[in-house]
Amino acid sequence: MMNRQTPSIRLDGKVALVTGAGAGIGRAIALAYADLGARIAAIEIDAERATKLQDELGSDHHVATGNVCSANDLAALFEVIDTRFGKLDILVNNVGDSLRLRGPFETRSEDDWDALYAINLKHIFACTRAALPLMRRTGSGGNIINMSTIEAYRGAPPAAVYAAFKSAITGFTKSIALELAPENIRVNIIAPETTESAQVPVSRMIAPEHRDHVERWIPMARFGTPRDAAGCAVFLASELSAWVTGTTIHVDGGALAAGGFYRTPTGEWTNFPVVTDVGIGWRPPS
């Protein structure tokens, strides 16, 4: 008879580290993994969010308050993972931020470049290097998931430096995926379009006069939710993706495929502007 055993989506017995897990996509991933049986290690810079996540997850999990850009905070975190869990099966490098450093390239200082590098790329190097000895410990492989953005796959004119570091994640991921493939350690990318979160509260960022355009800006007629990205993170961490490495999942509702095309109020497609300003931007809470 044919072996029809279905690959499991369960993560029982796995240990997963999720960075920036106190809110948004990181929190959704941590909770989804825990629901599927994984033990969670997490790091979150906001102490209140870290405490709340620890309470939600329970005592079988560990949530550290710390900054992934701090070598000392990362060293302390990995020491706890080693001592308490003894291994690491899944690493989600979720932290990233434009730091609202947007505008013409020549207006950005070298300090801005360094800050964007630290939070969008350097810490991914540091976390990955620290994770590999723990992933190798069991000899059964592992998973590394790097969170990027679709801005790494199209031009981002007001944020060239941010986009450059996000683009670099792609080169790093493909290259290290090849290095680690013989050890069955898989490395992939999730690249979301604008997703509702505490970091990007998109529902508050759209001017009232433009809110009827939202369903036409994205082919699937809405912005993303943390749950959308978490679903892809579950796929990449589970047996369902056992032969997937070095690739990117675009969680964007079809935005990248559409390029610059949008639907007009009458339902036609156009690649000409449908609003008279940027349409979305940082606004004070209403």
Query: Which residues, other chains included, contact 90 with Cβ-Cβ below 8 Å and sequence gap of 6+?
Result: 11, 14, 15, 16, 17, 33, 38, 142, 143, 144, 145, 237
Task: Retrieve residue 144's tokens.
Answer: 């590394």
Burial classification of residue 167, based on how many CB atoms lie within 10 Å of its CB (0-12 exposed, 13-18 middle, 19 or more buried):
middle
Question: Angle 92-139-40 (CA atoms, 0-180°, nearest 5)?
Answer: 30
Is 33 catalytic? The answer is: no
CA dihedral 210, 211, 213, 217 (to 10 degrees): 110
User: Of residues 33, 153, 162, 262, which has the active-site annotation?
Assistant: 162
The secondary element (H helix, E strand) that includes residue 192 is strand 185-192
Active site residues: 162
